[in-house]
């Protein structure tokens, strides 16, 4: 989903998590290749001409398993789909519509053609063709003397042109004084010299280890508009070859994402109720009064020792949920009022280096979303922290954090999560009425109006379920459609716990809206989960417990 789409959603009052166009049921941040687009502004395109034995439209279908929405097309490839002509100027409007229909959610971000002609009529025909197909960048060599014409047409049609030249430094000089729609194409060796004029990079003749250094250099140069693509494969196994190259691209881009998230964490302030600009002074005071009334005077369990809780609310590539500052307030005030813990609020990922992390008893993920833990060292620190007895607690969107990291899915118990309306009304049953974490409910089922997630990869064989949707008493088809919200087993967990090594994990999907932090019963449930994660509240973590009533 684009930043503009997020803005439109927020303007409409919707703060849910959407699926990524053209990538099945995975969010953009499920892979670096897609998550990097709106964060570090790296985009990769698949060269469809890699499928030399196929026509363009056949090859477009063939690359679907790669889950890359951006493609590079070539004028040398036959169109297909009943069209015998090459994918080049000369296609009729009807034939162009056939191509556009076949692309669906994919986009031709780069279009390679051997040469842009110096004849204006022929050059204009090329730009008109590219515009009709919504091409973003044309990659080509200019004909002799054609540079002024290309500059003018690129500005007129609002299409970028990445020029091919054997000498990057000479090309950079040629571009001086030209408009911002004309730039450079370079291979791996020449890319760094072109800086802000770099529009397209062909990753050839290098290993992922070499790409890493290039990517870091370009990121630090603030090159933000380049398209990265690969040399079309010469092998007969194009899909296998491209898949391997994409994985190498992800590996090479990991240090860039790690550096970006670290920089973001150091600069992103923890969200507070007082900083909410949409609220009046009176509304802030009223919200605090309601939360204060919901916070009990005493902890559910007496701390076994002084506890330290690390709270992070960092969002990576997502604006964040409205309940975040309210959860921060409750966590801080609960700790102060009850003495259950001392909370440290920080988005600095330096806290997740093991030497610092080991000073805490548990981590709280406050509605976190995106590629939060991109740094391999941070990942290993979290795993070690939990295996050695630390705790992790999170609520609502925290299953949408680091979904590109399989071990984190194992830790928290599920990843991603689809939903219907943010005001879905469900009946919640207690799957473990005896659990101390469920004590606030008094053994009684209750009604919840919230944004209730469904996971395809959640399993009772991994977690001990505390709460779940009472399916016979709930309409599961409320509001907007959701074709991936239905599980064949009808098992929709809401809160759960699990052991991980010597550590403890608590998660609840409740809490989309701030009102959850103003409800005494829900606050007690959440805080009991935190005390469990800290090691002060004992609870059965045996996985596989059957749904209540079975």
Please say if the pLDDT value at position 143 is more than 70: yes
CB 533 within 8 A of CB 392: yes
- In 3-state terms, what secondary structure has residue 205? coil
**CATH code of the region 268-534:** 3.40.50.880
What pLDDT shows up at residue 1?
Answer: 31
Domains 33-245 and 268-534 share a fold: no
User: pLDDT exceeding 70 applies to what percent of the chain?
Assistant: 93
- Estimate the crossing angle of helix 120-132 against helix 93-103, to 10 degrees: 40
Q: Please state which of the ranges 238-247, 296-305, 446-455, 459-468 shows the lowest mean pLDDT.
A: 238-247
* 150/50 Cα distance (integer angstroms): 28
pLDDT digits (tens, 9 = 90+) for 350-399: 999 999 999 999 999 999 999 999 999 999 999 999 999 999 999 999 99
What pLDDT shows up at residue 192?
Answer: 83
Please say if the pLDDT value at position 8 is more than 60: no
- Kindly report the length of the chain: 550
Alpha-helix residue ranges (DSSP H) falling in 199-315: 208-220, 238-267, 281-294
Q: Work out the average pLDDT over 40-53.
A: 93
What pLDDT shows up at residue 547?
Answer: 66
What pLDDT shows up at residue 236?
Answer: 67
Q: Work out the average pLDDT over 159-176.
A: 91
pLDDT digits (tens, 9 = 90+) for 419-451: 999 999 999 999 999 999 999 999 999 999 999
- Estimate the crossing angle of helix 147-157 against helix 120-132, to 10 degrees: 30
Please say if the pLDDT value at position 14 is more than 60: no
Q: Work out the average pLDDT over 272-296.
A: 97
- In 3-state terms, what secondary structure has residue 350? helix
**CATH code of the region 33-245:** 3.20.20.150
CB 50 within 8 A of CB 241: yes
Across the chain, mean pLDDT equals 91
What pLDDT shows up at residue 335?
Answer: 98
What pLDDT shows up at residue 208?
Answer: 74
What pLDDT shows up at residue 410?
Answer: 97
State the pTM of this model: 0.90
Contact partners, residue 286, CB within 8 Å, separation at least 6: none
Query: What are the domain boundaries of the chain?
Result: 33-245, 268-534
Q: What is the CA radius of gyration of the chain?
A: 27
What pLDDT shows up at residue 188?
Answer: 80
Please say if the pLDDT value at position 122 is more than 50: yes
Taking CA atoms, 534 is separated from 304, 342, 367, 439, in Å, by 10, 11, 18, 17
Please say if the pLDDT value at position 176 is more than 70: yes
The sign one gets for the Cα dihedral 281, 287, 290, 294 is: negative
41 or 235, higher pLDDT: 41
* 361/349 Cα distance (integer angstroms): 17
CB 155 within 8 A of CB 161: no
Q: Work out the average pLDDT over 402-420.
A: 95
Query: What H or E segment, with its residue span, contains residue 490?
Result: none
Q: Which residue has tokens 């001086």?
A: 176
Please say if the pLDDT value at position 414 is more than 90: yes
CB 172 within 8 A of CB 194: yes
* 331/517 Cα distance (integer angstroms): 10
pLDDT digits (tens, 9 = 90+) for 479-501: 888 888 999 999 999 999 999 99
Q: Work out the average pLDDT over 152-174.
A: 93
* 201/223 Cα distance (integer angstroms): 11
pLDDT digits (tens, 9 = 90+) for 494-541: 999 999 999 999 999 999 999 999 999 999 999 999 999 999 999 999
Contact partners, residue 106, CB within 8 Å, separation at least 6: 22, 60, 69, 70, 71
What pLDDT shows up at residue 550?
Answer: 59
């Amino acid at each position: 989903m684009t930043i503009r789409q997020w803005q439109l959603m927020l303007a409409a009052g919707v703060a849910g998590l959407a699926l990524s166009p053209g990538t099945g049921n995975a969010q953009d941040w499920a892979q670096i290749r897609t998550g990097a687009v709106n964060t570090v502004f790296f985009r990769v395109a698949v060269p469809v001409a890699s499928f030399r034995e196929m026509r363009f439209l056949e090859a477009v279908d063939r690359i679907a398993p790669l889950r890359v929405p951006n493609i590079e097309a070539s004028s040398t490839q036959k169109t297909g789909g009943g069209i015998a002509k090459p994918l080049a100027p000369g296609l009729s409007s009807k034939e162009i519509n056939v191509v556009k229909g076949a692309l669906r959610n994919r986009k031709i971000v780069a279009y390679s053609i051997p040469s842009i002609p110096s004849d204006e009529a022929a050059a204009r025909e090329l730009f008109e063709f590219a515009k009709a197909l919504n091409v973003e960048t044309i990659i080509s060599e200019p004909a002799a003397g054609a540079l002024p014409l290309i500059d003018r047409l690129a500005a007129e049609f609002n299409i970028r042109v990445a020029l091919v030249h054997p000498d990057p430094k000479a090309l950079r000089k040629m571009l001086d004084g030209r408009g911002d729609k004309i730039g450079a194409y370079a291979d791996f060796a020449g890319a760094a010299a072109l800086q802000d004029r770099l529009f397209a990079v062909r990753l050839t003749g290098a290993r992922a280890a070499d790409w890493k250094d290039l990517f870091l250099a370009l990121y630090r140069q603030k090159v933000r508009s380049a398209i990265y693509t690969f040399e079309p494969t010469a092998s007969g196994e194009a899909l296998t070859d491209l898949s391997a190259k994409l994985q190498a691209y992800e590996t090479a881009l990991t240090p860039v994402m790690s550096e970006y998230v670290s920089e973001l964490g150091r600069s992103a302030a923890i969200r507070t109720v007082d900083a909410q600009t949409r609220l009046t002074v009176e509304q802030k005071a009223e919200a605090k009064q309601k939360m204060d009334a919901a916070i009990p005077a005493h902890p559910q369990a007496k701390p076994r020792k002084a506890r330290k809780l690390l709270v992070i609310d960092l969002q990576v590539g997502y604006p964040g949920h409205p309940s975040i500052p309210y959860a921060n307030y409750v966590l801080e005030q609960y700790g102060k009022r009850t003495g259950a813990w001392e909370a440290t609020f920080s988005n600095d990922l330096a806290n997740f280096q093991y030497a610092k992390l080991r000073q805490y008893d548990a981590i709280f993920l406050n509605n976190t979303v995106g590629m939060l833990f991109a740094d391999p060292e941070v990942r290993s620190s979290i795993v070690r922290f939990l295996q050695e007895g630390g705790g992790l607690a999170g609520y609502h969107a925290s299953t949408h954090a680091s979904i590109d990291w399989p071990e984190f899915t194992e830790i928290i118990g599920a990843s991603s999560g689809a939903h219907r309306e943010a005001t879905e009304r469900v009946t919640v049953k207690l799957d473990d009425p005896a659990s101390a974490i469920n004590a606030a409910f008094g053994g009684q089922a209750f009604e919840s109006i919230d944004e209730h997630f469904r996971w395809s990869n959640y399993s009772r064989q991994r977690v001990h379920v505390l709460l779940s949707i009472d399916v016979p008493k709930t309409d599961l088809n409320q509001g907007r459609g959701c074709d991936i919200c239905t599980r064949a087993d009808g098992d929709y967990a809401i809160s759960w716990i699990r052991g991980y090594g010597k550590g403890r994990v608590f998660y609840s999907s409740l809490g989309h809206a701030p009102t959850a932090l103003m409800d005494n019963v829900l606050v007690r449930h959440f805080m009991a989960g935190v005390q469990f994660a800290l090691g002060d509240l004992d609870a059965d973590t045996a996985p596989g417990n059957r749904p209540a009533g079975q």
